[in-house]
Chain A
Amino acid sequence: MKDGLRVLSPTAILGYGFPEESFRNGISKHPDLIACDAGSTDPGPYYLGSGKSFTDRALVKRDLTFMLVEGLRLGVPVVVGSAGGSGAAPHLTWCRRIVEEIAEEHGLSFRMGVISSDVEKGTVKEALRAGRITALPFVPALTEEAVDASCHIVAQIGCEPLIAALKAGCHVVLAGRCYDPACFAALPVMQGFDDGLALHMGKILECGAIAAAPGSGADCAFATLYADRFILEALSPKRRFTRESAAAHTLYEKSDPYRLPGPGGVIDLHACSFTEVGEGRVEVRGSRYERTVPYRIKLEGTRRTGYRSLSIAGTRDPVMVRHIESILEAVRAQVSAQASIPGTVRFHVYGKNGVMGDTEPVREPSGHELGIVLEAVSSTQEDADSLVSVARSTLLHYGYPGRISTAGNLAFPFSPSDVRMGEVHEFSIYHLMDIEDPAAFPLEVVEVKGGRA
């Protein structure tokens, strides 16, 4: 085991960007690993279901170019997890093509490990029948029907498949859906560093400089891991790590800040300490890893529920603003009575309860105008288009009681007023599955030969 292992995290999500100066500062510290998490379920179910990335291709290519060029020049591994955002086969292929394109354009040759984290429906159903599936809190029990209806099913893999790729001598590792901290922890864990510290370091680094002060998801962070501690530092003169910023980060997007569950175990932070050690650096000690038996891995899946169309408009009429609820109710009734188009119409009323829906504690809108997003969801795109069209025209000309503005009820900012949103997905699987061998995810090792070297 080396004395200290240095890790550069360029950004919170591949494609979110980073200042070149911060990245160069990180490179000048001779990192032993450059790693980045590329994914999240935060942008919702559409991206996993449709096979599309929630990040922009040009921006992902920009970030990856810096990482690949410098990582290969230094001869250190570049690890990317949750490739393409959701990490299913189409996302992984999308990211792989970008890597190959960069290699071609920059004349880079290297060994690449591509790890698939897709899980076959049959495997999930077999686990379900054998009682090896556990629902997470508030998630409905899994059914075979939900498995069959899912478009893509991925597992959030742990360090083990990444270690297999690193052991195979891969300079670049692209993983499908992956536990975010694993991209950072796989190399140190392989080298014998403490799992608890390595994973906790990864947990902080996977968000780039979000855990620094001031926080940013579009800036780099750096950590040095030792046998009994790790030290965090920012790479921009604008930021530093503080005891508070580092500790506060363990709260982020987690239900219990003391216990952070992941594949095969839990990071336990009850004995963890955060100490400022000068120059904007924070030292972390005492993070522990508890293995759980059986090894459980999180599955994510989505199913398509229809197609969506929208229309965006506003109203500035005080009578309409005051009676918006009854007006929309009447329009909804008229639309379903008039048009025999299957589907659902919803109104998102900004200025009233567009953000919180039924849980909005303020009951009466107090503003002088309202924004209305008309949403139609149906089983075909054509029906969704028709439904939003009829809802839009009905609301535009609806003669509500007390109306004084009789030429039209809505202001449309755009022509066309209606937008096709495409497929609608919902999460169908968010469950834990017991597995035997956490390393058993397919690894493809390829020799990438750059073009004009």
Chain B
Amino acid sequence: MKRSILEAARVIRSKNSGPFELTLDVMFRDRRHFELFRDRRIIDAPLIARLYGVAEGDVLGVVWFEPSNAVKATIRRRVPSGGPGDTDIYGAQQHAPLLGIEYEDG
């Protein structure tokens, strides 16, 4: 049965990492969910590229950070912060596409 990432994660957020990058964090509820996602590569560069409509080359990396049971992906901002047509100067409300990720438990 497909489950929502909201059952596995306690924090899902986005933020600028400098004016040219957007960094996306998912912090899992516990080590078990972290390992489930990491070992099955449920979140990877192609998925992030697809969700955010960027080329895979615009995904700077997907890093699994065990001390926080977290995964981080960093992508090119659609527009540099404050540039023409920017909609989110701090980049703090660009996490919604991640909320639709699903996984199978067990």
Contacts and interface: CB of A to CB of B under 8 A. Distances in A.
Query: For A344, A355, A425, which residue has the most chain B Cβ atoms within 10 angstroms?
Result: A355
Interface residues of A, number: 42
A254 B93 contact: no
B101 to A, nearest CB: 12
A136 B78 contact: no
Contacts of B83: 426-427
A408 interface: no
B106 interface: no
Nearest to A426: B83
Contacts of A244: 68-69
B42 interface: no
A139 B20 CA distance: 7
A248 B82 contact: no
Contact of B84 (A43, A356, A426): A426
B43 to A, nearest CB: 14
Interface string A274-315: 100000000000000000000000000000010000000000
Interface residues of B, number: 45
Interface in A234-275: 243-244, 247-248, 250-258, 272, 274
Contacts of A344: 84
Nearest to A46: B82
A253 B17 contact: yes
Contacts of B51: 361
A426 B97 contact: no
A348 interface: yes
Interface string B27-61: 10000000000000000000000011100001011
Contacts of A254: 17, 23, 72
23 contacts: A44-B81, A44-B89, A45-B82, A46-B82, A137-B60, A138-B77, A244-B69, A253-B15, A255-B23, A255-B60, A255-B61, A256-B61, A272-B67, A355-B94, A356-B88, A356-B93, A356-B96, A357-B85, A359-B97, A426-B83, A427-B83, A430-B18, A430-B20
Which 7 A-B pairs give the minimum distances between C-beta atoms?
A: A44-B82, A247-B67, A255-B74, A138-B76, A248-B68, A45-B82, A44-B89
Given A41-B16, A430-B18, 6 more contacts: A137-B60, A251-B65, A253-B23, A257-B68, A257-B72, A427-B80
